[in-house]
């Protein structure tokens, strides 16, 4: 067995010679366990003209693997009591499940087959493509999704900003050889991350994971990095009774030392019904039926993304007031606003301690973005140490500017001038 690194909170970190990192955190007070395995096979890795290939492969990998038929896989998932999921992001393809603790060994054995020895049945390609195409077409009926997807491409560029579901042209071009080649190139142990949390025998499970994945081979193939998109405005014309507004601006990524100062500002603006945007834009002025702001992160860059849904008559004022409130954060923060944010974060930390799946997700995110695990104690300390002057100073030094804006509705809007240039 490889010698693990043991961090605070008894988190084991095992780096296998093939490049796979295993993160294991026992949570013996739970009755459940969960795991996830992420490989560097997200949509940014897709070859040009094959948008949707990453998600298609992720779905097809579960249609039989190793000694199991597609029906066998489904039956095993049900018999083991797995609450399972799989999907792709910009960088990663992930497979995982939560379950009763005693099911974890057999679940790992099953997913070792799915990830390492999928059948990828060619006679089911058309069926898989049909399902993927339906998802792409459904977005055309979801204006919120339309503006957000277009916004992310403006924010991150044509490769990193690709939609996870792909596009019709890309799906129409995919052949079985593309699926097999993408699997051979991207489903590799180098850079892969496995996280396990919950009620399990640590030595047994780490030993089993090494047995199942230790002889997995394959070096990671690097992909080109494109530059972020440029500030600008786009309008999608649609005769609708609603106007949908999406906007973004640059921010620090999750691994940056100033991330928590940035995230605290986002929380004061948009976490909960007492946040500024909800109260001042929606409740006091009645300008929109929904408004939100969130921090979004890739490995090397980040963004703050906002959305508002309103009527055509109130759309311009909604945009004006929303941007004004965001930029006014530098004018000061009330002590009560910061205290409410800390309470909400503390509540979410408590909830995470009761969920093996939530902890697995955090472990994967930490390792991918930071290259290390952030313990619950460290996170709690970082949140508790937040001060108003530090948050305001960060936002003064990194003011919102260079907006990307996408609207969908009856008529385009006028982008208000930013106080930050």
Q: What percent of the chain has pLDDT over 90?
A: 88
Residue 3 has pLDDT above 70, yes or no: no
Tokens 């003064």 belong to 396
Please, where are the H alpha helices in 141-278?
Answer: 143-156, 168-173, 176-186, 202-213, 259-270, 276
CB 46 within 8 A of CB 218: no
- Cα dihedral 107→109→111→114 (10° resolution): -140
Segments making up each domain of the chain, as ranges: 5-213, 232-409
Mean pLDDT over residues 386-415, rounded? 96
Q: Which CATH architecture has domain 5-213?
A: 2-Layer Sandwich (3.30)
Task: Work out the mean pLDDT of the chain and round it to a whole number.
Answer: 94
CA distance 338 to 262: 13
How confident is the model over 159-179, as pLDDT tens digits? 999 999 999 999 999 999 999
Same fold, 5-213 and 232-409: yes
pLDDT in tens, 28-54: 999 999 999 999 999 999 999 999 999
Whether 196 and 205 have beta carbons less than 8 Å apart is answered as: yes
> pLDDT, tens digit, for every residue of 349-376?
888 888 999 999 999 999 999 999 998 8
**Does domain 232-409 bear CATH number 3.30.830.10?**
yes
Is the model's pLDDT at 4 over the cut of 70? Answer: no
Give the pTM.
0.93
Residue 224: the pLDDT is 80
Structural contact between residues 46 and 415, judged by C-beta atoms closer than 8 angstroms: no
């Amino acid at each position: 067995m490889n010698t693990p690194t043991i961090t605070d909170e008894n988190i084991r970190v095992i780096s296998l010679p093939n490049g796979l990192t295993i993160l294991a955190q026992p949570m013996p007070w739970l009755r459940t366990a969960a795991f996830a395995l992420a490989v560097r096979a997200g949509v940014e890795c897709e070859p040009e003209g094959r948008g949707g290939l990453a998600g298609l492969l992720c779905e097809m990998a579960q249609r039989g693997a190793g000694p199991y038929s597609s029906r066998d896989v489904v039956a095993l998932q049900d018999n083991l009591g797995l609450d399972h999921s799989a999907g792709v992001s910009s960088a990663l393809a992930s497979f995982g499940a939560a379950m009763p603790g005693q099911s974890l060994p057999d679940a790992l054995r099953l997913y070792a087959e799915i990830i390492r020895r999928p059948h990828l049945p060619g006679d089911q390609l058309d069926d898989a493509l049909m399902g993927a195409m339906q998802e792409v077409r459904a977005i055309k009926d979801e204006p919120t999704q339309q503006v957000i997807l277009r916004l992310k491409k403006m924010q991150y560029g044509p490769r990193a900003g690709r939609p996870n579901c792909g596009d019709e042209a890309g799906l129409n071009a995919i052949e079985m050889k593309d699926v097999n080649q993408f699997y051979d190139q991207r489903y590799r142990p180098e850079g892969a991350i496995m996280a396990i949390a919950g009620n399990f025998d640590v030595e047994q499970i780490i030993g089993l994971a090494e047995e199942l994945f230790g002889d997995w081979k394959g070096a990671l193939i690097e992909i080109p990095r494109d530059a972020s998109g440029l500030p600008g405005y786009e309008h999608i014309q649609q005769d609708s009774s609603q106007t949908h507004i999406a906007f973004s601006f640059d921010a620090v990524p999750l691994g940056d030392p100033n991330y928590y100062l940035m995230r605290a500002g986002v929380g004061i603006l948009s976490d909960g019904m007492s946040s500024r945007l909800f109260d001042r834009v929606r409740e006091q002025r009645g300008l929109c039926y929904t408004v939100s702001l969130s921090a979004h992160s890739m490995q090397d860059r980040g963004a703050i993304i906002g959305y508002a849904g309103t009527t055509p008559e109130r759309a311009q004022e909604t945009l004006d007031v929303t941007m004004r409130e965001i930029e006014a954060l530098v004018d000061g923060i009330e002590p009560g606003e910061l205290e409410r944010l800390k309470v909400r974060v503390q509540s979410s930390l408590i909830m995470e301690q009761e969920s093996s799946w939530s902890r697995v997700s955090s472990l994967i995110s930490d390792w991918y973005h930071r290259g290390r695990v952030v313990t619950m104690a460290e996170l709690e300390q970082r949140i508790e140490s937040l001060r108003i002057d530090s948050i305001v100073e960060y936002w003064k030094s990194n003011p919102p500017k260079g907006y990307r804006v996408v609207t969908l509705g009856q008529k385009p809007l006028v982008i208000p001038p930013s106080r930050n240039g």
